[in-house]
Amino acid sequence: MGSLGMRHDIAAGLACLLAACAQPPGTSPPPPSAGPATATSAGDASAEARELAVGGFLDLALPANASTGYGWELIETGAPVLRRVDPPPVAEAAPASPPMPGAGGVSRWRFVAERAGTAQVRLVYRRSWEKDVPPAREARYRVTVTAAVDGADRD
């Protein structure tokens, strides 16, 4: 093999190695052509059903990676049955090593059940500047809120 062929093989090998290292495992953005799918069950566009009593909380934790430009956007809030509130702080164990640049994370959402009824919460995962592009992912929750029971039987 001539020196030109060897240099080509080395360059090709380095290019593959760099491509593999450029994006940490599991953090690649969804492909732009990916159709909508729920965040809770891939490939199923139906809403996930949840039941709450008045005063209960709906806590959502959706995988996200802001370094890709993608983020969750709240489309349907469930109002007036649900009201969005700040999620409680999460005490996470300190990692053994600092997080890798570009590593994914979790987007947290919390809703409180204000009154009995049904509601839908819908979030889409997309880049904020790509308004004319279908979202890469979608999360839908159909929530049924029942009246709180005080536990006392009265006759």
Nearest-angstrom CA–CA distance, 145 and 51 = 6
Q: How confident is the model at residue 111 (pLDDT cuts 50, 70, 90)?
A: very high
Angle value at C-alpha 27, between 85 and 36, nearest 5 degrees: 65
Answer whether 24's CB lies under 8 Å from 103's CB: yes
Q: How confident is the model at residue 104 (pLDDT cuts 50, 70, 90)?
A: confident
Domains and their CATH numbers in the chain: 29-89+104-146 (2.60.40.2020)
pLDDT for position 27: 35
Residue (of 137, 130, 141) closest to 64 by Cα position = 137
**44-81 pLDDT per residue, tens:** 456 899 999 999 999 999 999 988 999 999 999 999 99
Q: How confident is the model at residue 131 (pLDDT cuts 50, 70, 90)?
A: confident
Alpha helices in the chain (DSSP H): 3-22
Answer whether 124's CB lies under 8 Å from 94's CB: no
- For 84-120, b where at least 16 C-beta lie within 10 A, e where not — what string? eeeeeeeeeeeeeeeeeeeebeebbbbbebbeebebe
| Beta carbons within 10 angstroms of residue 41's beta carbon | 11
Answer whether 65's CB lies under 8 Å from 106's CB: no
**1-33 pLDDT per residue, tens:** 555 454 444 444 434 333 333 333 333 333 332
Angle value at C-alpha 75, between 73 and 76, nearest 5 degrees: 135
Angle value at C-alpha 43, between 41 and 47, nearest 5 degrees: 55
